[in-house]
A and B are shown apart, each in its own frame.
Chain A
Amino acid sequence: GEDVEQSLFLSVREGDSSVINCTYTDSSSTYLYWYKQEPGAGLQLLTYIFSNMDMKQDQRLTVLLNKKDKHLSLRIADTQTGDSAIYFCAESRDGGSQGNLIFGKGTKLSVKP
């Protein structure tokens, strides 16, 4: 298909790990991104991974990339209530234009105390 796909909702308990999954479509995508959007706010870039990498770790965030299956995941360790937000996966289809992104519909993460 044409779309970047994500599950719409995820609910976890505070202190647990959260794993948000995404499938993308264009095997030639150069970069894959995770953005966070809190209520009433803009999009905040969390992390990105270059397409020739399998994994990237940044503090509590771990990104895994499976190019064969076109699957991307974001793991948040020790999830906190402040992590409650919508998380968007995005792919860059124009290798020279990192802002021309195709976004998924977003996964709403709810963190219960």
Chain B
Amino acid sequence: DSGVTQTPKHLITATGQRVTLRCSPRSGDLSVYWYQQSLDQGLQFLIQYYNGEERAKGNILERFSAQQFPDLHSELNLSSLELGDSALYFCASGNLRNTEAFFGQGTRLTVV
């Protein structure tokens, strides 16, 4: 158990809808990272938050957004969903002083 909690584990929704994925980082970790894992693109870094502020941005679509709350949990919002958004979404947490990030079990999103 990495100590990173993601909910829900599975999500099925229709095209055009909006969903919110939630991540609770490990105790003491200030950074949260979001990744998307799909069959064709592999694992891609989406975005990082550090202590409530956006710190780095990767290949995140404009339809997607994230935030980190004062209690350090984070939410990834995916809107106007398309079939191609079906993927496993991972959250990881870490601390800038650490050399590693700890990954959650992921949320499997299926868009139908």
Contacts and interface: CB of A to CB of B under 8 A. Distances in A.
* Chain A bound to chain B: yes
Interface of A: 31, 33, 35, 41-45, 48, 50, 88, 90, 94, 96-106
A96 B105 contact: no
Contact of B48 (A33, A35, A99): A99
B33 A99 contact: yes
Q: Which of A41, A94, A99 lies at the interface centre, i.e. has the most chain B CB atoms within 10 A of its CB?
A: A99
A97 B56 contact: yes
Contacts of B105: 41-42
B100 A100 contact: no
B100 A102 contact: no
Nearest to B50: A97
Given A43-B90, A100-B58, 7 more contacts: A33-B100, A42-B4, A42-B103, A45-B100, A45-B102, A45-B103, A48-B99
Interface residues of B, number: 26
B56 A31 contact: no
Contacts of A106: 42-43
Contact of B42 (A31, A35, A105): A105
Contacts of B44: 103
A88 B43 CA distance: 9
A98 B99 contact: yes
Contacts of B43: 43, 88, 90, 103, 106
B48 A100 contact: yes
Contacts of A88: 43
5 contacts: A43-B92, A44-B2, A44-B103, A100-B56, A100-B58
B98 A98 contact: yes
A31 B96 CA distance: 13
A44 B4 CA distance: 12
Interface in B1-53: 2, 4, 31, 33, 42-45, 48
A45 B104 CA distance: 11
Nearest to A104: B42
